Amino acid sequence: MPETSAPLAGLTVLDFSSVLSGPLAAAMLADQGADVIKIEGPEGDTTRALGPAKGRLSAMYISANRGKRGLVLDLKQAAAQQIAQALVQRADVLIQNMRPGVMDRLGLGPDAMLAANPRLVYLSITGFGPDGPDAGARAYDTVIQARSGLAANHPHPVTGEPTLLPSAVCDKLTALTAAQAITAALVARARDGRGRHVQVAMLDAAVAFQWPEAMFNQVFIDEPPPPMPEFGVGQRPWATRDGFVATSAPQQVEFNGLLRVLGCPELADDPRFATPSSRMRNSPALRELLTPRFATWATDELVPALAAAGVPAGRVNRRDELLRDPQLLHNAVLAEVQQAGAGRVRLPRGAARFEGYQQPVKPAPHAGEHGPDVLREAGFSDAQIDAWITQGVLRVG
């Protein structure tokens, strides 16, 4: 079929955010065709210095800021604030994740910006919300993992102590929530012509994300049923002879298939394991019985045997093995991109596929790389731009 335009083509997004939640939300919009302008202070985004890096381009920064254009403004200077305000008047979306009140002090708060541009979708990400006892507190992913119950919901399998996932999961699920909220606000604007202020708290996003299963014992209020073991209490990989596999067999036909492959079909008649609920209640006993049977198999023999029996299963890929996973290779999830100053880098394609549109994967900007171009497009003269560079209002490189 003929190619169609990018879903968000023609939209301009100003990304004033830093670290991960806001930048990643903006990167998703860039994946889908928006012109995203990354606005940093002279010190640069914190992620530029996190993890492996070449110069001021870290792996994390590149991944979370792919496809954007870069502009560096010293927003402590009044001239820089005026430049930002002028850009907002031409923008469709503004994303920021500063603590409550900071953007207001810079003259870039939601009330002022929506008055200047009534069609603007202004997105604010906070750690705990715009007000309340913890509104002004600093928040990072680990803090939200703790406060949201996520750490307690992932106890250590032996000690039962809460664990912090070695992934910025709360930042990333907040980014997903934010990107969806922005597109919803844009749909609403198409109906009524109005922009609006959208707010996403990391704490709220993390709690909502867990609710369907990790918090199912907190759902019923009036005459709650007897509590079940918490979801996933026995959900751990199984050790094979040479690695690990994960399986899930909630349906009876899947559970029966698992038992046949492992050579113990008689366990299907054991009342302890007769239903999904009884298997959850008796998961320690089931694991004790099945662990030695998994250990007799080689991973690459067991996974296809389970698949043939209709049992969902997958090998546990290490990070390096992930790059060679045949389905991921087929899906072309990862693309090689030439990143100026860093050589070739691997970046993910946008996971959503749009019929007729092939999402490009573009590199991240160097600090201030596109500043003069962005300001020329906004109508500023070369003489004015040069003066701002001299004054340190605008920085290039």
Distance CA 120, CA 128 (A): 24
* Cβ pair 370, 70 in contact under 8 A: yes
Q: Distance between terminal CA atoms of the chain?
A: 42
* Cβ pair 175, 24 in contact under 8 A: yes
Q: Per the residue annotation, which of 134, 171, 300, 320 is the catalytic one?
A: 171
Among 87, 163, 89, 73, residue whose Cα is nearest residue 380: 87
* Cβ pair 315, 300 in contact under 8 A: yes
Among 199, 197, 191, 187, residue whose Cα is nearest residue 8: 187
Query: Would you state the structure tokens that stand for residue 350, as one six-digit string?
Result: 């946008």
Distances (CA, A) of 222 to 219, 321, 395: 10, 48, 60
Query: Would you state the structure tokens that stand for residue 216, as one six-digit string?
Result: 């199912």
- Has 373 been annotated as catalytic? no
Among 17, 107, 38, 18, residue whose Cα is nearest residue 362: 38
Q: Starting at the edge strand that comes first in sequence, how are the strands of the sheet with 244-247 ordered?
A: 238-239, 244-247, 313-315
Q: What pairs with residue 196 in β-bridges?
A: 121
* CA 237 to chain CA mean position, Å: 24
In terms of phi and psi (left: phi > 0; alpha: psi -120 to 50; beta: otherwise), the region of 374 is alpha
88 secondary structure, DSSP code: H
Burial status of residue 156 (CB atoms within 10 A of its CB: 0-12, 13-18, 19 or more): exposed
* Cβ pair 312, 302 in contact under 8 A: no
Query: Would you state the structure tokens that stand for residue 308, as one six-digit string?
Result: 């043939």
- Provide CB contacts within 8 A for 90, sequence distance 6+: 12, 117, 378
Distance CA 55, CA 40 (A): 17
Residues labelled catalytic: 171
